[in-house]
Structure 1
């Protein structure tokens, strides 16, 4: 089965709504979760997750903890994660990449940049 689903994990429904609308208009199938734990449940029940767009600043479990959990799981460790964050200070990108993210996009999201990241990850995983 072709992995083609993008999972959005963000605690702000407005971010999910906007990103989902744009990605769907570009031909992607999207699922969403408002917490990392909810996202893990979606991954558990879907074989077709190609990429996770992970908000890094969430209550309960932040994106750094979520990526670490994913890397320890045989089911989730090979799913690439793109860190999506409002944090755009010096060092934030490196911190996200060091945590295990395969890409980094700051908010407000530049859709063209995001699509380039997704395309790279999808071709790398084929």
Structure 2
């Protein structure tokens, strides 16, 4: 079985480090970007990614703006996107899904729940 590749988009390097460490221990390959623009550039270069985890609260371009931009990239229009937010407020899930995310998870990320989301998507 091929390793699945996950792109983690988060402006906080500590979040990327922690999430990537756990996912790598579960045999996933991880790429990371610290801004939505960097991620859009990477994805536009047609890097093969199986799942995208995107922090919804980032400076310059947040996840709500970035997800529709990612969906416009032909090779990633169907790539599963999971929105990640620390602001787990009422309506956040719906707002994320409306922006084009396939699923939503709050911080701190429950890895078992995240892995079950991967299996479902």
Normalising by structure 2, report the TM-score.
0.92
CA distance in 1, matches of 2:6, 2:98: 22
Q: What SS does the aligned partner of 2:15 have?
A: helix
Q: Deviations over 1:9-28 (max 9, x none)?
A: 00000000000000000000
CA distance in 2, matches of 1:31, 1:72: 20
Q: What residue number does 1:97 align with?
A: 97
Given that 1:10 and 1:58 are in contact with CA atoms closer than 8 Å, whether structure 2 keeps it comes out as yes
CA distance in 2, matches of 1:105, 1:32: 18
Normalising by structure 1, report the TM-score.
0.89
Q: What SS does the aligned partner of 1:113 have?
A: helix
Task: Give the RMSD, CA atoms, in angstroms.
Answer: 1.4
How does 1:20-35 map onto structure 2 within 5 Å? 20-35=20-35
Given that 1:85 and 1:107 are in contact with CA atoms closer than 8 Å, whether structure 2 keeps it comes out as yes
Between Structure 1 and Structure 2, how many residues are aligned? 120
Q: What residue number does 2:38 align with?
A: 38
How does 1:1-126 map onto structure 2 within 5 Å? 4-121=4-121
More moved, 10-19 vs 41-50: 41-50
Q: Provide runs of 4+ in structure 1 moved above 2 Å.
A: 44-48
Contiguous gaps of at least 5 residues in structure 2: none
Q: Deviations over 1:20-65 (max 9, x none)?
A: 0000000000000000111122223454200000000000100010
